[in-house]
Every structure is written in C-alpha cells, then in structure tokens.
Amino acid sequence: MLGIFNKGFVQPPQELNSPAPLKSSVKPKLSQEILRDFVSHDSGNAVSISFGDGTSFSYLPPEKPFSIHQSMFCAVDGIYCIFRGSLNNLCHLIKQYGLSKGTNEAMFVIEAYRTLRDRGPYPADQVLKDLDGSFGFVVFDDNAKTVFAALGGNEEIRLFWGISADGSVIISDKLEVVKASCGKSFAPFPSGCMFHSEHGLKSFEHPTKKMKAVPRIDSEGVMCGANFKVDVQSKINSMPRVGSEANWALWGSES
C-alpha cells in the first residue's frame, strides 16, 4: 500500500522530519516520482488513484492471495481505504454495525469511519480497541480532505511514514519504499496508535497518555525521523471522538 498526502492538509509531527536531510546519502524524492516508482513494481496489476490536490492512493495486490494477513482496497462515496491484516471478530462487527454479510475488512473500516464521522457516538480509541486481530489501515476522505490511519498493537502488521522532498506525507507498509522515498525523514508508524490529519497522533491503547518523540540516529550518525512512544508520565483529560467538528476538537484536548 502507498498513500501520498499533500502537505497543505496533512500536518505530521515535526519530529518526523529529519533535521539534517542534506547530510543523507539517500535524498528524498518528489511525490510524483514516488508514485511512479511504486506502480512500476507491478504496473499490470497496480491500482492507483490520484486526486487534484496532490494526494494519491496506490495498491498492489498481495503476492500471496491466501495469506492470513490480507491486503485490500475499497472506495465508498468518496472515502477510500487500504487495509492490511485481518480481523478475527469481523462477523461480530458486521452484525454490530448492521452491515451485509459480504463486507470485508476494508469495507468495514470505511463504514465505521463514516458512522463515527457523521454521528460520533463513541470515542475513536474505543472503536479501534474493539478490533480483534492484526491490522493497519489508511483512510482518505476526499469529501472532507482528511486522512485517518491506525495500526494495531500486536506488531504483526507494520506501517511506516515519512516526508517527501516536496513535504508530502508518505504512508506505506513497505519499509524499502518509504526509506527510498523520504531520505532520513521517516520512521515506523507507532503500534497501537491512530493519526488524524487535523488532530495529530494519539495512542488508542493508552488514550489518556500523550505521545513523545524519541530521537533516532542511524549508522551514518545522522539524525533521522523520530520514533514515537507513549509518555507514561503524561495525562490527557478528554478522549478523542471521530465525528462532528466539536467531537474532533476533543482529539487534541490535553491537560
């Protein structure tokens, strides 16, 4: 999977950007070059959608179609989702949300996101805690121009994110893609966490705690994009909700 998101509406943590990109032996690429290189790996099967604002979604079908951890792409009413992994309790979630039996994980994530965006009955962290399994996903809402990404806590699925040469945010499940695209301005996406383009990075496993950046230096002695960990000494007053503008505001409410 690959998501490229214009810097105009996605603001990642500042610490993801390497303070010394010019010292890197690998220079970051422009967004169009990143997309072209990714699709070229399997141009006959790649699914790629580009939006007018510099945002792109690209998906390569899995090399092992019957793997336990699936890769899938879905789009519904202007909401796009790339999902990696599997949910053990998908049947229960389908019944809980009143969805059709043929709903897969990517379709479920879109419906859950849309329900929360429009009605917001539960905090976002609780919704993600209800997902039993291994998962990583990226949702792009073309109507609201927002990005919502999350990674499960068991570390069986990995995501990586970084900053391209033109400042776009890159998210992929392939380390080599992000590393080659972002120079030193990349890091693993933290497990057990969720990111919203307007309201930042939070832990859904520890929603009352803040996140902190941990400096990272590579074998060349260059400062890279930081790792992000839960700050166990901190505390947040309000739980984030995915829904109305007022609910989204609770995402960033801290003590």
Instruction: Express each pLDDT in 145-172 by its tens digit.
Output: 999 999 999 989 999 999 999 999 999 9
Q: Given a cut of 70, is residue 240 above it in pLDDT?
A: no
pLDDT at 189 over 90: yes
What global pTM score does this model have?
0.89
Q: How far is CA 23 from CA 12, 127, 253, in A?
A: 22, 42, 37
C-alpha 59/C-alpha 138 separation (Å) is 11
Least confident of 115-119, 151-155, 182-186: 115-119
For the residues 38-67, what does the mean pLDDT come to? 82
Task: Check pLDDT > 70 for residue 242.
Answer: no
**The residue type at 239:** M
Distance CA(11)–CA(204), nearest Å, equals: 19
Q: List the one residue out of 13, 67, 42, 43 whose CA is nearest residue 201.
A: 13
**What's at 128, amino acid-wise?**
L
**Distance separating alpha carbons of residues 201 and 195, to the nearest angstrom:** 4
Q: What is the pLDDT of residue 41?
A: 81
Q: Does residue 181 have a pLDDT over 50?
A: yes
Task: Look at the block and give the residue holding tokens 């090399």.
Answer: 63
Whether 246 has a pLDDT exceeding 50, the answer reads: no
Look at residue 183 in the predicted model and tell me its pLDDT: 92
Looking at residue 66, what is its pLDDT?
64
The SS3 of residue 219 is: coil
Residue 245 binned pLDDT confidence (cut-offs 50, 70, 90): very low
pLDDT for the residue numbered 234: 86
Q: Is the pLDDT of residue 248 over 50?
A: no
Give CA separation, 78 vs 55, 110, 127, 147, in Å.
Answer: 13, 10, 22, 12
pLDDT score of 251 more than 60: no
Query: Is 12's pLDDT higher than 50?
Result: yes
- Higher pLDDT, residue 57 or 252: 57
Least confident range from 43-47, 57-61, 70-74, 179-183: namely 43-47
**pLDDT confidence of residue 65:** 63
**Quick one: average pLDDT of 119-128?**
80
Pairing of strands 2-5, 47-50: unpaired
Please give the mean pLDDT across all residues of the chain: 87
Using pLDDT thresholds of 50, 70 and 90, give the confidence band for residue 186. Answer: very high
